[in-house]
Structure 1
Amino acid sequence: MRVKKIFNNNVVLGADEHGAETVFMGRGLGFQVRPGDLVDAARVDRQFVAQAMPAERLAALAAEIPLDEIEVMEEVVAAARVRLGDRISEHVLLPLADHVHFALARAREGASIEYPLKWEIENLYPAETEMGTAALEIIERRLGVRMDATEALPIALHFVNAQIGSGDIAATVQMTQWLKIALDTIGEDFGLVVDQRSLAAARFITHLRYLFLRARDGKQSPETGGAIGEAVRSAKPLEYACAERLAHRMAELFGRELVQEEILYLALHVSRLTAQPDIAEGTTRAGT
């Protein structure tokens, strides 16, 4: 492992044993070191292989954040992995620590930010929101800074981002907006209010998350012919029309077109969701 660039006494950019660009951190790791030198493995406390952002940007983040804050965020990420699963990997640590670093500065100055997606995040991602609140408790216990309760929301989005493998928070925000639109549209079309904490809704939201990302990444399901689509359209006309509305809204708002195969699968998921008895509270279906 050799050093490529020194960012400060504690952070260097180098290459691991496989040649992958890696951020190495450790106290004194960059002291009196030059590019081309071997990385002192005995001083390495943690290392990160660049994935969601350029390696130099990742190293710059690590260099800007105090080590004590990074250590606290390691505790937060470990707790999140227990609560939310193994998809919460170390790759979320530095982007999350970067956000929390500036949030801590705001808290110390008594400043706050209004987050416009408060309702959507709390209702679409309840487990991640609860973990965001737990993160604030860990931060207060370890660093002695009480942050505004709304700071749990962007932390929750970082956990959502980690689970779906997206390095782009902006895309996760767009996805969140579309999820809310989708549930509202279904409510309008079928005359019900979806209980977003029901198991059926959770499964449907999971499908929508990955559908949105496939559309973003150009990895949609391949076409298999029109016969199945026509059969579904005939058997489930309301569900198919609803799926087409959702596809239109995605294209209109975010410029991402759904292929017919994805619209077909979406119609089937709409049908499965609206057929469940536990999705609505105190509401009736249209026409009943």
Structure 2
Amino acid sequence: MKIKKVLNNNVVVSLNSRNQEIVVMGRGLAFQKKVGETIDAAKIEKTFVLETYGISEKLANLLRDISEKYLNISARILEYAKSQLPYKLDEYLYVALTDHISFAISRYKQGIHLKNPLLWEIRKFYKNEFQVAVKALEIIKEETGIELGEDEAASIALHLVNSQLSGENVATAIQVTEMVNTILNIVKYHFKMELDENSINYERFLTHLRFFAIRFIREEKLEESVDEFFFEQIKIKYPEAYACTQKIKTYLEKEFHFELTKDEELYLTVHIYRVTSRQKFK
């Protein structure tokens, strides 16, 4: 295995047998080594594959300023996250998490503890990601001896949520969270009820809202395909759910100048009916 790029004395980029870029870590692995020279296999402690072009360059820039131990922590966290989450994680997380963890620990050592204003929403709406982030705090403690709080778990969870947005920034994930929270509140106030957050219907509704918000932020509208007769029947059959959808529509138009398509109105109406009517029945 030959060195393609030296990131620092302990981290290099090489190629595997499938010609994929891999990051190889080990103490003194690249000490006094140059590009093209062979890696001592006995010194290799960790490897991971990079499928996305340009990530190794970003890692190289990052590791000029911070220790590779934070990259090792990120790699452990992402290995665990991949086993727990149902979607593919964006490889930029190696960079984003490494940078975030380094900065979080630096702030901790300086006695600076930042509150995450979305802690409650993230813990509630992104349960799987938050649980992975809680495990991430355990990994950080194992590796550094430093115990970070739930606010940092919420921030790590946001990075995982953001991974679904194909490299878009964390501000986008925050906007998705806020939009979902507002729509859920519109439903609660309209029906004057608390929703059963443990129900399958709630999870389905939440999933629909998340992806709806992501589509909106990316400006990916659904193509109009709804049958007019079917749409009118849904309005008649589920009048309260449709009235709630109209409130959501008004909110989106007022706050974001965004108009729902009839398909989106229909899907929202059906999901709202399902999540509220079954709860009323119970």
**TM-score normalised to the size of structure 1?**
0.78
State the Cα distance separating 1:215 from its structure 2 match. Answer: 2.0
1:89-121 Cα offsets, whole Å, 9 max, x none, are 654332122111100111112211011112111
Question: Matched residues in 1 for 2:38 and 2:9: separation?
Answer: 13
After superposition, where does 1:1-288 map in structure 2 within 5 Å? 8-9=8-9, 24=23, 26=25, 28-29=29-30, 33=34, 45-50=47-52, 56-85=57-86, 87-88=88-89, 90-163=91-164, 165=166, 167-225=168-226, 227=228, 228-277=230-279
Pick closer, same or farther for the CA change 1:242–1:60 going to 2, 3 Å.
farther
What's the CA shift for 1:151? 0.9
Relative to 1, partners in 2 of residues 1:11 and 1:137: Cα closer, same or farther, differing over 3 Å? closer
Q: Which has the higher contact order (CA 8 A, sep 6+)?
A: 1
State how far apart, in whole Å, the 2-side matches of 1:50 and 1:58 are.
Answer: 12
Whether the 8 Å CA contact 1:11–1:62 is kept in 2: the answer is no
CA separation of 1:218 and 1:185: change in aligned 2, threshold 3 A: same
AA at the equivalent of 2:195: V
Alpha-carbon deviations, 1:179-221, whole Å to 9, x = none?
1111110011111011333322111111111111222223332
AA of the residue aligned to 1:117? L
Using the alignment, how far apart are the partners of 1:279 and 1:142 within structure 2?
50
Give 1:240 deviation, angstroms: 1.9
Name the SS for the 1:263 alignment partner: helix
Structure 1 alignment gaps of length 5 or more: 281-288
State the SS of the aligned residue for 2:141: helix
Aligned length: 276
Instruction: Name the SS for the 1:45 alignment partner.
Output: strand
8 Å Cα contact 1:195/1:279 also seen in 2 = no
Which has the higher mean CA deviation after the structures are superposed, 144-153 or 221-230? 221-230
Higher mean C-alpha deviation, range 220-229 or range 83-92: 83-92
Displacement of 1:58 in angstroms is 4.9
CA-atom RMSD, angstroms? Answer: 3.5
Any conservation in 2 of the 1:8–1:31 contact (CA below 8 Å)? no
1:62 to partner: Cα distance: 4.7
Quickly say closer, same or farther: Cα 1:2–1:257, change in 2 above 3 A: farther
Give yes or no for contact 2:249–2:260 (8 Å, CA) kept in 1: yes
Structure 1 pair 99/23, CA: closer, same or farther in 2 (3 Å)?
farther
Secondary structure at 2:163 match in 1: helix
22-31 vs 179-188, which deviates more? 22-31
Change (3 A) 1:47 1:151: same
Moved more, 211-220 or 95-104: 211-220
Distance change >3 Å, CA 134–CA 261, structure 1 → 2: same
Contact 1:11 1:59 in 2 (8 A): no
- Tell me the distance in 1 between the aligned counterparts of 2:40 and 2:187: 55
5+ residue gaps in structure 2? none
Q: Is the 8 A contact 2:241 2:269 kept in 1?
A: yes
Name the TM-score, length of structure 2 as normaliser.
Answer: 0.80
